Structure 1
Amino acid sequence: MKVALLIVDMQKGCREETPCKSAFDSSVEYINEISQYFRKKNYPVVIIKDVEVGSPGSEEFECVDALAISDNDIVIHKQHCNAFWETELDNVLKNERIDGIIVSGFAAEHCVLFTYNGARERGYNVFLLQNGIAGLDEEEIRRIQLLRPIVNYQALEYFL
């Protein structure tokens, strides 16, 4: 299975709107570890940015400074909660022959969940990244992870 890591909406404007800033910051640390592992193994890392957070070039639109980004990462701009809706994401993943997706990022209750569902609807094997999901409500994050398959660093290391 060829797998891609999606990093959804880890933007400065998103961090500012969440009351769960420490959970957001913790998820960045975990995402950084996983993304470095993906890059080392030559698996795609896709940075997804929401244009509703701010216009491209604005401070709010940029990813948080703590997020590790590579020039080789694929960047997708989206207008809807589902990163597959009216974007080139599905075509990009198909061109890379991706059949598995790990979804991480913000907000668990919205864009992460909708992107997860969009990937499932398109036939991908999809998992949420344990400890790599941030949101507006920590209890809701736990509920979302209880009801969907999650994967952690050790499992990814074993399977990849």
Structure 2
Amino acid sequence: MKVALLIVDMQIGCREETPAKRSFDLAVEYINEISQYFRSKSYPVVIIKDIEVGSPDTEAFDCVDNLIITDQDRVIHKQHCNAFWETELDAVLKAEGVDGVIVSGFAVEHCVLFTYNGARERGYQVYLLQNGVAGYDEEEIKRIQLLRPIINYQALEYFL
């Protein structure tokens, strides 16, 4: 199985609007660890940016400074909550031979969950990244993770 890491909406504007900033910052740290692991194994890392946060020439549109991004990463701009809807994401993943995705990022109650569902609808094996999702409400983050398959660093090391 070839797996890609999707990093959804970890943008400056998103961090500014959430009351759960600590959760956001902790998710960035965990995503950085996992993304480095994916890159070391030559698995795709896809940065997804929401154009509703701000136009591409604004600071709000940029990813937060502490998120590690490399030139190898693919960047997808989306205008809907589901990163697969009206974007090239599915084609990019298929071209890479990807059949599984790990979804991480912000906001677990909206864009992360909708992207998760979009991946399932397209036949991907899909998981949420434990500790790698952020949202508006800590309790809602926990509830969503209880109802979806999650995967952590140790399990990824074993399977990949």
TM-score range, shorter chain: over 0.9
Identical-pair percentage: 81
Q: Within 1, Cα distance between the matches of 2:56 and 2:38?
A: 26
The residue type equivalent to 2:85 in the other structure is W
- Across the aligned residues of Structure 1 and Structure 2, the Cα RMSD in angstroms comes to 0.3
- CA shift, 1:78, in A, is 0.1
Query: Which residue of structure 2 aligns with residue 93 of structure 1?
Result: 93
The residue type equivalent to 2:61 in the other structure is F
Runs of 4 or more, structure 1, over 3 Å off, are none
Q: Within 1, Cα distance between the matches of 2:150 and 2:34?
A: 14
Deviation readout 1:59-98 (Å, 9 max, x if unpaired)? 0000000000001100000000000000000000000010
Q: Within 2, Cα distance between the matches of 1:57 and 1:150?
A: 34
Structure 2 residue runs of 5 or longer lacking an equivalent are none
- CA shift, 1:23, in A, is 0.3
Deviation readout 1:2-51 (Å, 9 max, x if unpaired)? 00000000000000000000000000000000000000000000000000
Structure 1 residue runs of 5 or longer lacking an equivalent are none
Query: Which residue of structure 2 aligns with residue 62 of structure 1?
Result: 62
The residue type equivalent to 1:157 in the other structure is E
1:46 aligns with 2:51: no
Task: Give the structure-2-normalised TM-score.
Answer: 1.00
DSSP 3-state at the match of 2:101: strand
DSSP 3-state at the match of 1:33: helix
Deviation readout 1:72-127 (Å, 9 max, x if unpaired)? 10000000000000000000000001000000000000000000000000000000
Query: Which residue of structure 1 aligns with residue 35 of structure 2?
Result: 35
1:155 aligns with 2:155: yes
Q: Within 2, Cα distance between the matches of 1:64 and 1:102?
A: 20
